[in-house]
Structure 1
Amino acid sequence: MIAKIRSLKIDRSSLRLKMTLEKRPKLIGFDLDYTLWPFWVDTHVDPPFHKDKNGKVVDSRNVKINFYKEVPKVLQKLHSEGCILAAVSRTTDPEGANQLLELWDWDRFFTYKEIYPGRKTTHFQRIKEASGLEYREMLFFDDEERNKIDLNTIGVLTIMVPDGVTEELVKQGLVTFSNKN
């Protein structure tokens, strides 16, 4: 009888996990500045960017350009799990932002890239049109409250990023999305 109870607990746990996975967003978007990297690409660094002889990304003054430590692992994991990812930024330097995505080989993770000045609602409207997804099926990570306020009006769940994207923050975001839906 004890074995059956243990088996039942395992089955319930597996069912709960499966139900959570079914409530995942169909698209996960990431802002760039102060979300994937710790600077504004249009003001704090000096493009164009390139790789130095050691393969490190540097700006035109040969200053090393860093990203938040957990970002490559987070993007790789989500991509390998089949998540559709989007890079969404209102930077005034789209060329520099795209150059960094290419140099770090993160381009391969993003199905959609909406990187240009403007409101995040415009960015997501274009993603919606291109993807056929509904706003309520999207999750977004950003560091700016004004973007969260804007996106709330159209139904995109936005998770605030206080100090760069981390695995734990993404897990919390997925749980929040699952609980909302």
Structure 2
Amino acid sequence: MARLPELAVFHLDYTLWPFWVDTHVDPPFHKSRDGTVRDRRSHPVRLYPEVPQVLERLRGLEVPVAAASRTGEIEGANQLLELFDLVKYFVHREIYPGSKVTHFERLQQKTRIFFSQMIFFDDEKRNIIDVNKLGVTCIHVQNGMSLQTLTEGLEVFAKAQAGP
């Protein structure tokens, strides 16, 4: 079995869901009678389709999961994680404005996991560049998180662990 990360970290906006929680939707959120998550204006809010399977796969591999998001809409992001029933997957959540480096430094302090044993999935190149400097394996997510992106990311992580 290839080496697995000790922590998988996900950005939220345009990584787990197809919008910016602080600008494209209108908190607070609620679950309608049909089970659909909706914003204040009753517009439906959705995850990328394979996100639950991605998180379930990591759970099956016994890889803990954390969130790192620089949004100013802290309450709304946490509310969505709860309404989508994703909280059960996340051992830590660093959701607040500011540098991703701060998010990762706090995750490292809380978990005692070396940066080199973490994998990070994010749609924003600037975050990938910043976090990569810490020694974290960073995967640029395009068109939302998917099982294929997870598999490719875990392969990149395993190759990085194997060395040259």
Q: TM-score range by the shorter chain?
A: over 0.9
More helix as a share of residues:
1
1:43-97 C-alpha deviation (Å, 9 max, x unpaired): 0000000011111100000000011000011111211321110011000101000
Q: 1:42 — aligned with what?
A: 22
Separation in 2 of the partners of 1:52 and 1:89? 26
Relative contact order higher in (CA < 8 Å, ≥ 6 apart): 2
Separation in 1 of the partners of 2:158 and 2:56? 21
Q: Which runs of 4+ in 1 moved over 4 A?
A: none
Q: 1:120 — aligned with what?
A: 100
Separation in 2 of the partners of 1:84 and 1:53? 32
Query: Percentage identity across aligned positions?
Result: 49
Give the secondary-structure state (helix, strand or coil) at the position aligned to 1:140. Answer: strand
Bigger Rg, structure 1 or 2: 1
1:53 paired with 2:33, answer yes
Q: Give the 5 Å matches for 1:147-158.
A: 147-158=127-138
Unmatched 5+ residue regions in structure 2? none
Separation in 1 of the partners of 2:134 and 2:62? 25
Q: Give the 5 Å matches for 1:59-138.
A: 59-138=39-118
Separation in 1 of the partners of 2:4 and 2:75? 32
Q: CA RMSD in A?
A: 0.7
Separation in 2 of the partners of 1:104 and 1:151? 27
1:144 paired with 2:129, answer no
Give the secondary-structure state (helix, strand or coil) at the position aligned to 2:104. Answer: helix
Q: How many residues align structurally?
A: 161
Q: 1:167 — aligned with what?
A: 147
Separation in 1 of the partners of 2:81 and 2:160? 31
Q: Which one-letter code corresponds to 2:5 in the other structure?
A: P
Q: Is the 8 A contact 2:70 2:95 kept in 1?
A: yes
Q: Scaled by the length of structure 1, what TM-score is found?
A: 0.88
Give the secondary-structure state (helix, strand or coil) at the position aligned to 2:66. Answer: strand
Separation in 1 of the partners of 2:41 and 2:60? 35
